[in-house]
C-alpha cells in the first residue's frame, strides 16, 4: 500500500527516511510556534515548501489536490471571524472580528503548511522506508512491528473488502448511513476473521524464515552525516525566516 508515494528520481527521494522525518518534524514545530501576525514568515515557509517540492519533482497540482484533507479544519476556521470578539472591521458589508480573522488565518496557515510538509514526506518516502526511518530514530520495536503488520494487513483487508463489497453491491445494497451500520458490521466481522487467518499464515511464514520482530534493514545503511546536514537546511532556513521576521517586526 503506497497511497501517496510518488515514485520519482530526485535528490529528496534519495535521502534516508530518518533525516526526512526529522526535517519535517522540526519544520512543522517552527511553523507552529511562529506568531500568527508574522505574515512574512509564513510567506517564507511557503516558498521553502515550493522549493522542496521543486527539488522532489512533486507537481503543485498533486500537492494542492491532496491538501484538501484538512478542509474540515479550514471550515472550522471560516466561522471564527463572525463569532470572534473584540475589535471589528467591515469588509464587503460584513462585520468581521479582527481577532477572529487572525484566529482563522492561524489555523489555515499552520494547518496547510503542516499538511504540505507531511505530503512532501509521504510523496518522497515509501511506507516501508518510513518504518525503517522510525526504527533508526529509536522508535520502539513494538510500534514498528505493529506498523509492519498493519501495512501487510491493509493489503489483505483491501483485497478481501473489495471482493465482499462487489458481492454486496451486486445484491443492490450499499449501506452508508448510521442506521445501516448493523448490516455493514456483520460483513466487517466476517472480513476481520478472514483477514486474521490469512495474516496468521503470513506471520508463520515469516517466522519460518527467521523473523524475530524486526525487519532486516536490507540494502540501506544509516544516513551519513552529509544527509543530516543537507536535510537540516529546511528547518534551519525556516527558523532563520522566523527569527528574521520577528526582528523586522
Partner 1 sequence: MDDVQAMHIANGIINGPVSAIFIAIAMAGLAVCVWRAKLDLDDRLAPMAGLVAAFIFAVQMLNFQVLPGVSGHLLGGTLAVILVGPWVGALCVSTVLIVQALVFADGGLTALGLNITNMALIGTAAAYLLVALLLRVLPRSSRGLGATALIASVIGVVVAAMGFVAEFALGGTADLSITAVAATMAGTHTLIGIGEGLIAATTVVTVAKVRPDLVYALRAFRAPIRAKAAVA
Partner 2 sequence: MTAALKITGLTFAYPDGREALHGVDLTLAPGERVALLGPNGAGKTTLVLHLNGILHGGAGRVEISGLPVTPGDRKAITEIRRRVGVVFQDPDDQLFMPTVAEDVAFGPANLGVRGDELDHRVTEALTAVGMLEHRDQIPHHLSFGQRRRVAVATVLAMRPEILVLDEPSSNLDPASRRELAEIIMSLPVTVLMVTHDLPYALELCPRSVILDAGRIVADAPTGELLADGDRMAAHRLELPFGFDPSAIHRR
In angstroms, give the least distance from the CB of 164 to partner 2: 18
Query: Is residue 210 within the footprint of partner 2 (CB under 8 A)?
Result: yes
Is there binding between residue 198 and partner 2 (CB under 8 A)?
yes
Query: Which residues, numbered 127-146, are part of the site for partner 2 (CB under 8 A)?
Result: 128
| Integer CA distances (angstroms), 28 to 58, 72, 127, 239, in order | 19, 20, 20, 10
Q: How many other CB atoms are found less than 10 A from the CB of residue 241?
A: 22
Which of residues 38 and 70 has its CB atom nearest to partner 1 in the complex? 70
Residue 210, binding choice from partner 2, partner 1, none, Cβ under 5 to 8 Å by partner class: partner 2
CB of 186 to partner 1, least distance (A): 6
Which of 193/247 has CB closer to partner 1?
193
Pick one of 39, 202, 243, 246: the residue that binds partner 2 (CB under 8 A).
202
Task: Name which of 202 and 229 has its Cβ closer to partner 1.
Answer: 202
DSSP assignment of 72-120 equals HHHHHHHHHHHH--S-EEEETTEEEEHHHHHHHHHHHHHHHHHHHHHHH
Q: Which grid cell sits at 149?
A: 503488520
234: left (phi over 0), alpha (psi -120 to 50) or beta: alpha
Residues 110-129 that bind partner 2 (CB under 8 A): 126, 128
Q: How far is CA 93 from the centre of its chain?
A: 38
Whole-number Å distance between alpha carbons of 123 and 142: 26
Q: Contact region for partner 2 (CB under 8 A) — 104-112, 183-191, 212-220, 222-230? A: 212-220
Contact pick of 78, 205, 233, 249 for partner 2 (by CB under 8 A): 205
Choose the one of partner 2, partner 1, none that binds residue 128, judging by a C-beta under 5 to 8 angstroms depending on kind: partner 2
CB 121, CB 24: distance < 8 Å: yes
Q: Could you tell me which of 249, 242, 189 has the C-alpha nearest to residue 26? A: 242
Q: Which residues bind partner 2 (CB under 8 A)?
A: 126, 128, 152, 198, 201-202, 204-212, 216-218
Amino acid at each position: 500500500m503506497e497511497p501517496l508515494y510518488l515514485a520519482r528520481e530526485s535528490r529528496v527521494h534519495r535521502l534516508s527516511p530518518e533525516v526526512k522525518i526529522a526535517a519535517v518534524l522540526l519544520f512543522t514545530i517552527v511553523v507552529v510556534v511562529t506568531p500568527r501576525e508574522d505574515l512574512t514568515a509564513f510567506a517564507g515557509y511557503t516558498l521553502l515548501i515550493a522549493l522542496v517540492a521543486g527539488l522532489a519533482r512533486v507537481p503543485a497540482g498533486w500537492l494542492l489536490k491532496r491538501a484538501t484533507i484538512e478542509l474540515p479544519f479550514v471550515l472550522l476556521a471560516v466561522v471564527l471571524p463572525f463569532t470572534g470578539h473584540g475589535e471589528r472591521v467591515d469588509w464587503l458589508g460584513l462585520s468581521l472580528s479582527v481577532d477572529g480573522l487572525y484566529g482563522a488565518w492561524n489555523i489555515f496557515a499552520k494547518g496547510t503548511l503542516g499538511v504540505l510538509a507531511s505530503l512532501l514526506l509521504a510523496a518522497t518516502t515509501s511506507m516501508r522506508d518510513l518504518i525503517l526511518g522510525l526504527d533508526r530514530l529509536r522508535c520502539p520495536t513494538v510500534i514498528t512491528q505493529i506498523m509492519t503488520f498493519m501495512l501487510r494487513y491493509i493489503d489483505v483487508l483491501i483485497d478481501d473488502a473489495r471482493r465482499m463489497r462487489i458481492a454486496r453491491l451486486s445484491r443492490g445494497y450499499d449501506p452508508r448511513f448510521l442506521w445501516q451500520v448493523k448490516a455493514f458490521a456483520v460483513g466487517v466481522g466476517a472480513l476481520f476473521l478472514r483477514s486474521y487467518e490469512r495474516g496468521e499464515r503470513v506471520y508463520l511464514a515469516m517466522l519460518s524464515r527467521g523473523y524475530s520482530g524486526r525487519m532486516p534493514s536490507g540494502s540501506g545503511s544509516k544516513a551519513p552525516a552529509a544527509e543530516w546536514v543537507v536535510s537540516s537546511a529546511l528547518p534551519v532556513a525556516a527558523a532563520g525566516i522566523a527569527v528574521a521576521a520577528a526582528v523586522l517586526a
